Amino acid sequence: MYAMFNDIINALKGLGKVYPNHELVSKILRCLPKSWEPKVTAIKEAKNLTTHPLEDLLGSLMTHELRMKDQDKSDHKKRTISLKASKDESKEESDQDEEMALLTKRIKKILMNKK
């Protein structure tokens, strides 16, 4: 996102339109998705946007993005379901194993859809 934003800003500078730093920071904060709203609010309240450098904002947003990805991975690991398998080969247990496998697939599909 920042690379595309930077390309647009550089093209505008080439055309003679220059934006002050605080407007660039505000534009980036406005374009973030709804899931970033808590971070945007924290940045707006904690920092003076008129003097906050664009590079510091980018670093803060990238750090937040990495934390969100790590949290998603840890949430996914917590939802893992495992079933204990037996080595007995009787026909009745074979049918039960097939039913368990089908049930496991359905549960995984439901969990993936909720994610």
Q: Which helix (H) or strand (E) holds 19?
A: none
pLDDT at 91 over 80: no
Please report how many Cα atoms fall inside a 13 Å half-sphere around the Cα of residue 18, on the Cβ side: 3
Residue at 1 is within a domain: no
Residue at 100 is within a domain: no
Q: Model pTM?
A: 0.54
- Per the CB < 8 A criterion, the answer to whether 60 and 43 are in contact is yes
* Better-predicted residue by pLDDT, 93 or 6: 6
Residue at 39 is within a domain: yes
- Total domain count, the chain: 1
SS3 percent helix, strand, coil of the chain, rounded to 5, is 75, 0, 25
Give the whole-angstrom CA distance, residue 23 versus residue 111.
Answer: 42
Give the whole-angstrom CA distance, residue 5 versus residue 7.
Answer: 5
Please give the residue range of the domain that contains residue 71: 18-76
Average pLDDT (83-101) is 69
Average pLDDT (97-114) is 85
Residue at 65 is within a domain: yes
Express each pLDDT in 12-66 by its tens digit: 999 999 888 889 888 888 888 898 898 888 888 888 888 888 888 888 888 988 9
